[in-house]
Amino acid sequence: MTEVQIHEAAERLPISVLTGFLGSGKTTVLSHLLQDPAMHDTAVVINEFGDVGLDHMLVESSNDDVVVLNSGCLCCTIRGDLIDTLRNLFRRRVTGEVPEFARLVIETTGLADPAPILHTLMTDPLLAARYRLDSVIATVDGVHGLSQMDTQFEPIKQAAVADRLLVTKRDLISDDEAETLTERLRSINPAAPIYTITHGDVAAETLFGAGLYDPETKSPDVARWLRDEAYADAESHDDHHHHHDVNRHDDRIRSFCLTSETPMAWDAFADWMEALISVHGDALLRVKGILNVTDTDKPVAVHGVQHVFHPPAMLEAWPDADRSSRIVMITRDLNREPVEQMFRAFVEKATDSA
């Protein structure tokens, strides 16, 4: 990827996906965000205007599927499928039919698995040329979150793929209950910052800017994006405190970081990842990595959700003196050992024999 291509990737419109289980308060969060001045250049894609309750907000203009608020936010309802909605919204932005928004937020339904939305953003060529994934934001019900995670896998998966976690209804739970839920979420997703909130009150700027590219500098920020040190801490904690409770869905979640000090052949890494996806694709909830490959002296960033991966991004420079390859993973029903064994077999043996 050339410097021009990196600039173009950074300039694509960032998309944040707001997800959360039924009743967890994501619509309350969204309603609060729509009144935040920091959202003035944001378009929000929702299922129905009525669900968000725009009646109490000042509406500047509207038509059948678009409402512009006095705050500058643009709300668009999904018509047809998501791909058509996003394509049409971008076209209307270019032609001046809607304000020139600089960010997009997509709200999912309460039972929605966020993975298909992420796959759509990664694989549709027209969308990938115009938008880039910035963050996944998951709301977790402060009152019912623990019991929901005991009985349903959807809230577990939403939390596992998130870049930001919002524990809602903080005013309705005790400090001990909040801490118990926070610790459980941290065991599922060690790298995502966790915010406890009341009445959907959260600042917009805390939710965005989680992607590879820093929104201020338009340049890669690998350390903030990868946060590989959080996975090492989680593995240490997991080794000493793992519950193995058959009634807990999240007991099937693992998070770990694979490292390699030796530069690897790109083809060997690609072969390993292809084999891993073919055998365990559904178990790979989220994968991020920075690689030291033999084909170049520049780092290569990779990012995937289950069996779908972004095209690799070659960065201009390493963020610091550490040249090791680091691949962080959150998996379901898949332990570190078989993944690492396959990694060493494919990548290190192929590299050693090259």
Task: Specify the range with the lowest mean pLDDT, choosing from 19-23, 243-247, 276-280.
Answer: 243-247
Q: Which of 171, 206, 241 is the last residue of a domain?
A: 206
Identify the residue with better confidence: 136 or 3.
136
Domain encompassing residue 48: 3-206
Please tell me whether residues 87 and 169 are part of one structural domain: yes
Q: Is the pLDDT of residue 304 over 70?
A: yes
Please tell me whether residues 167 and 290 are part of one structural domain: no
Please tell me whether residues 296 and 189 are part of one structural domain: no
Please tell me whether residues 187 and 41 are part of one structural domain: yes
* % of residues, the chain, pLDDT over 90: 60
Read off the CATH number of the domain in which 130 is found.
3.40.50.300
Shortest CA distance to 15 belongs to which of 41, 43, 36? 43
**Does any domain span residue 215?**
no
Please tell me whether residues 71 and 104 are part of one structural domain: yes
pLDDT, position 5: 44
Q: Which of 173, 206, 239 is the last residue of a domain?
A: 206
Q: Is the pLDDT of residue 242 over 80?
A: no
Confidence of residue 196 (pLDDT cuts 50, 70, 90): very high
Task: Specify the range with the lowest mean pLDDT, choosing from 47-51, 242-246, 299-303.
Answer: 242-246
**Does any domain span residue 62?**
yes
Please tell me whether residues 185 and 267 are part of one structural domain: no
Please tell me whether residues 188 and 270 are part of one structural domain: no
CA–CA separation, 72 and 172 (whole Å)? 32
Return the bridge partners of 69, or none.
59
Q: Which of 175, 206, 237 is the last residue of a domain?
A: 206
Q: Is the pLDDT of residue 218 over 80?
A: no
Please tell me whether residues 188 and 255 are part of one structural domain: no
**Does any domain span residue 299?**
yes
Q: Is the pLDDT of residue 237 over 80?
A: no
pLDDT, position 48: 85
Please tell me whether residues 168 and 248 are part of one structural domain: no
Domains: count for the chain: 2
| Cα–Cα distance list, 284 to 88, 110, 279, 306, 321 (Å) | 32, 22, 10, 4, 29
CA–CA separation, 269 and 289 (whole Å)? 11
**Does any domain span residue 220?**
no
**Does any domain span residue 28?**
yes
Confidence of residue 142 (pLDDT cuts 50, 70, 90): very high
Read off the CATH number of the domain in which 318 is found.
3.30.1220.10
DSSP, residue by residue, 160-193: HT-SEEEEE-GGGS-HHHHHHHHHHHHHH-TTS-
**Helix, strand counts (H, E) of the chain:** 14, 15
**Does any domain span residue 217?**
no
Mean per-residue pLDDT for 228-252? Answer: 64
Q: What is the pLDDT of residues 1-50, one digit of tens each?
A: 344 344 455 678 999 999 999 999 999 999 999 989 999 999 999 988 87
Query: What backbone torsions phi and psi does residue 316 show, to the nearest 5 degrees?
Result: -75, -30
Mean per-residue pLDDT for 298-325? Answer: 90
Tell me what the pLDDT averaged over the chain comes to. 87
Q: Is the pLDDT of residue 315 over 50?
A: yes
Q: What is the pLDDT of residues 114-128, one digit of tens each?
A: 888 889 888 899 998
Confidence of residue 112 (pLDDT cuts 50, 70, 90): confident
Q: What is the pLDDT of residues 184-194, one digit of tens each?
A: 999 999 999 99
**Does any domain span residue 344?**
yes
Mean per-residue pLDDT for 317-321? Answer: 89
Please tell me whether residues 192 and 262 are part of one structural domain: no
Q: Is the pLDDT of residue 54 over 90?
A: no
pTM (2 d.p.): 0.89
**Does any domain span residue 211?**
no
CA–CA separation, 108 and 98 (whole Å)? 22
pLDDT, position 113: 84
Q: Is the pLDDT of residue 79 over 50?
A: yes
Please tell me whether residues 332 and 267 are part of one structural domain: yes
Please tell me whether residues 17 and 148 are part of one structural domain: yes
CB-based contacts of 137: which residues, under 8 Å, 6+ apart? Answer: 16, 17, 18, 19, 162, 163, 164, 165, 166, 207
